[in-house]
């Protein structure tokens, strides 16, 4: 199977792309090279290869969701630059423009 220059022009038109004659010739050559490689891959015997739902067979790498003791509010606020009894104090970043 091969791609003609006319087919590359049609693909470019569908993708709303414009190419020069030299670019069209180059893309035609490149697409034909890709198709030749795909034909070579079709020669491989894949009878014993199981289909994959994803190309990466990695397992879930997340840790188990386990309940752990959290730090207290006092400990969390201990290193805060500014704090109120139970909250971090931060500079106001949203200003009322109606005033």
Q: Is residue 20 part of a domain?
A: yes
**What domain range includes position 17?**
5-42
CA dihedral sign of residues 80, 84, 87, 88:
negative
Q: Is residue 21 part of a domain?
A: yes
Q: Is residue 26 part of a domain?
A: yes
Q: Whole-model pTM? A: 0.48
Q: Is residue 56 part of a domain?
A: no
Q: Is residue 74 part of a domain?
A: no
Query: What is the reported pLDDT for 6?
Result: 95
Q: Is residue 19 part of a domain?
A: yes
Over its length of 99 residues, how does the chain's per-residue pLDDT go in tens digits? 799 999 999 999 999 999 999 999 999 999 999 999 999 888 889 899 888 888 887 777 788 888 999 999 999 999 899 998 889 999 888 877 776
CB count within 10 Å of CB 8 equals: 21
Please answer whether residues 33 and 45 qualify as being in contact, where contact means their C-beta atoms are separated by less than 8 angstroms.
no
Q: Is residue 76 part of a domain?
A: no
Number of domains in the chain: 1
Q: Is residue 37 part of a domain?
A: yes
């Amino acid at each position: 199977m091969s791609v003609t220059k006319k087919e590359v022009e049609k693909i470019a038109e569908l993708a709303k792309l414009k190419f020069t004659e030299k670019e069209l010739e180059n893309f035609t050559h490149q697409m034909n090279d890709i198709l030749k490689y795909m034909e070579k891959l079709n020669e491989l015997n894949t009878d014993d290869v199981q289909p994959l739902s994803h190309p990466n067979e990695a397992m879930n790498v997340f840790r188990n969701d386990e309940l752990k003791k959290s730090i207290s509010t006092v400990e969390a606020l201990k290193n805060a630059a500014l704090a109120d009894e139970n909250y971090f104090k931060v500079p106001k970043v949203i200003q009322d423009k109606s005033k």
